[in-house]
Every structure is written in structure tokens, then in C-alpha cells.
């Protein structure tokens, strides 16, 4: 079994490649994993086109939801985007927070940081910055963010409990998050869960939905709400890269499934320590 650091290296390498791919290639696959499908154009990502602040050059087609649409960002807020990629959600959040606010994008892939900074400079956005860093150790001070967003990234983090501890640490008391992610229902075939391409493509790193929500609650978040949920249907021509015809048929009748969820949670406003190690 790969170690956490080996999994991080795998994802870093894969997403460095994705940063150099065009959007069409990324959207025709599982979060850019490269397993291109002839059956669908867009497996996981939602359409950002109607959101103010959307910039096509910053959209790599890697998301599985629209967390900024649900994030309840207000003017003047400090917003942190975990796994910011080329800056897509950051630029949309900037419209909501306005010139008085600030948006910080965190990504641990240097190629993504470079691409996001180029986009911000080209657009003249001076209150959006991008920092290279690990979501398990976010490079910002404690109690700084009003809102945390993330789009189809936490499932790639090996230690999800630590990731939510970090979200609690960086949020101000009374702050909140809106996160889109991939979760599972039932047991996926081991060949899907263990395939490196599928891991970097958002599936094999995903948790059961019940476990995912339990981790959020165990880190002290309150008012946890599912803002959106949708099934993700992986076409047969992608599944056939990992499963035989009989296995695909069994998988379809097994009741197991893959879902995109957008989940909301709040850090208690009273400042009580919400989990071991969360307090600064």
C-alpha cells in the first residue's frame, strides 16, 4: 500500500500534467485523469458559465460542483480556496467579496500556482493571491478566513481528518465552509479504488458519504448541511479500462455509487476548541 507521501507525489505529478492539458481533455475524463470517454463530454464538473467572474482560461474542467455558488460570501470577506488550480473559484469568489475583501488560493502543484498567478496578473486582480502549500498544513495563520471553499480536492488528500482540522484552524469563529467533493455509497470494485489513474481522477481517494460527514462533525463543525448532491455516472468505455464486461454488469446492479456533494458547515462562534489540536 502506498504511503501518504507517495500518494501526494502521485497527485502532484498528475496535476502538473493536467495543468498543461487543454480544458476539453480534462472535461472528457474523470477530473482530468486522462481516461477519455467517447460517451460523454463532461463526467463530473458543473457549468460555471452563468456565474459572474467566470474566466474560461482559469477553468480546467476539474471540479465536481459549484461551491462558490453556495458559499454565502459577503462583501469584505476573506475567502480561502483549498486546491485552487488555475484560479477558477478564486476569481468567482472575488466578485462576491469585492475589492474590500481578499481571496487566497492554496495549491501544492507548482504548475497550477504558476498558471493561476499568470491568470490573476493578466486580469489585473490585486486582491487575489496564490500560495503553494499542503492542505494538511495550510500556509496561512489561524482564524483568518470568513469562508473556505474547495472543489473536488479534499478527496485527494490522504488524511482528510487533518484537512478538516486545518479548515477549522484557519476559519474565524463563526466562519463557514462550502465544499464540493466526491463520496461513495456502497463498495466499489477494488480495481477502481486501487487504480492510480482513478485515484488522481477523484474516485479511489473518496470516502463513504457517512464517514465523510462524520469526520466533519468530529472536528466540531455545526449546522452541517448537504447543499447539493448528484450521482456521477462513469461511462462503460472508462470502466472497461479497469473492469471486464461481467464485472461492469455486476457493478451496475450492486447498488454502489459515486456522488458529488456540496456540503456546508460552520465553526462555532463561541470560539470553543472544536477538536484536538485545532486551537491556536
Structure letter (DSSP) for residue 220: T
Per-residue model confidence (pLDDT) at position 152: 87
Per-residue model confidence (pLDDT) at position 258: 85
Per-residue model confidence (pLDDT) at position 40: 42
Place of cell 477553468: 59
| pTM for the predicted model, two decimal places | 0.81
Per-residue model confidence (pLDDT) at position 1: 53
For residue 258, what are the β-bridge partners?
Answer: 184
Per-residue model confidence (pLDDT) at position 216: 98
Coil, strand or helix at 69: helix
Please answer whether residues 85 and 180 qualify as being in contact, where contact means their C-beta atoms are separated by less than 8 angstroms.
no
Q: Does an H or E element contain 12, and which? A: helix 4-19
For the chain, the structural domain boundaries read 4-181+213-228+259-265
CATH architecture observed for domain 4-181+213-228+259-265: 3-Layer(aba) Sandwich (3.40)
CA distances from 71 to 48, 101, 180, 192 (A): 14, 15, 10, 32
Per-residue model confidence (pLDDT) at position 226: 97
CB crowding 8-25: b at 16 or more within 10 Å, else e: bebbbebbeebbebebee
Task: Return the half-sphere exposure (C-beta side, CA atoms, 13 A cut-off) of residue 13.
Answer: 9
Mean pLDDT in order along the chain per 10 residues (280 residues): 65 59 49 48 59 67 83 98 93 94 94 93 94 96 98 89 98 97 86 60 78 97 96 80 86 86 95 48
Please answer whether residues 88 and 59 qualify as being in contact, where contact means their C-beta atoms are separated by less than 8 angstroms.
yes
Alpha-carbon distance of 145 to 151, in angstroms, equals 17
Chain Cα centroid distance, residue 224: 17
Supply 65's cell numbers.
460542483
Per-residue model confidence (pLDDT) at position 276: 47
Amino acid at each position: 500500500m502506498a504511503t501518504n507521501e507517495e500518494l501526494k507525489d502521485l497527485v502532484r505529478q498528475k496535476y502538473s500534467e493536467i495543468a498543461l492539458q487543454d480544458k476539453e481533455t480534462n472535461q472528457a475524463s474523470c477530473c482530468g485523469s486522462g481516461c477519455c470517454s467517447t460517451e460523454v463530454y463532461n463526467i463530473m464538473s458543473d457549468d460555471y458559465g452563468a456565474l459572474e467572474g467566470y474566466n474560461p482560461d482559469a477553468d480546467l474542467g476539474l471540479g465536481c460542483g459549484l461551491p462558490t455558488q453556495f458559499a454565502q460570501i459577503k462583501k469584505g470577506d476573506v475567502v480561502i480556496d483549498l486546491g485552487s488550480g488555475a484560479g477558477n473559484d478564486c476569481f468567482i469568489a472575488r466578485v462576491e467579496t469585492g475589492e474590500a475583501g481578499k481571496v487566497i488560493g492554496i495549491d501544492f502543484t507548482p504548475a497550477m500556482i504558476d498558471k493561476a498567478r499568470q491568470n490573476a496578473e493578466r486580469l489585473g486582480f490585486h486582491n487575489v493571491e496564490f500560495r503553494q502549500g499542503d492542505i494538511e498544513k495550510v500556509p496561512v495563520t489561524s482564524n483568518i478566513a470568513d469562508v473556505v471553499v474547495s472543489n473536488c480536492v479534499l478527496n485527494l488528500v490522504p488524511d482528510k481528518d487533518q484537512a478538516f482540522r486545518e479548515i477549522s484552524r484557519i476559519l474565524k469563529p463563526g466562519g463557514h465552509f462550502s465544499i464540493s467533493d466526491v463520496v461513495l455509497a456502497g463498495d466499489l470494485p477494488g480495481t477502481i479504488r486501487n487504480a492510480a489513474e482513478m485515484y488522481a481522477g477523484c474516485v479511489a481517494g473518496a470516502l463513504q458519504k457517512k464517514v465523510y460527514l462524520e469526520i466533519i462533525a468530529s472536528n466540531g463543525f455545526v449546522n452541517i448541511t448537504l447543499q447539493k448532491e448528484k450521482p456521477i455516472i462513469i461511462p462503460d468505455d472508462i470502466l472497461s479500462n479497469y473492469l471486464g464486461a461481467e464485472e461492469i454488469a455486476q457493478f451496475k446492479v450492486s447498488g454502489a455509487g459515486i456522488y458529488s456533494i456540496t456540503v456546508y458547515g460552520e465553526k462555532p462562534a463561541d470560539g470553543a476548541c472544536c477538536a484536538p489540536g485545532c486551537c491556536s
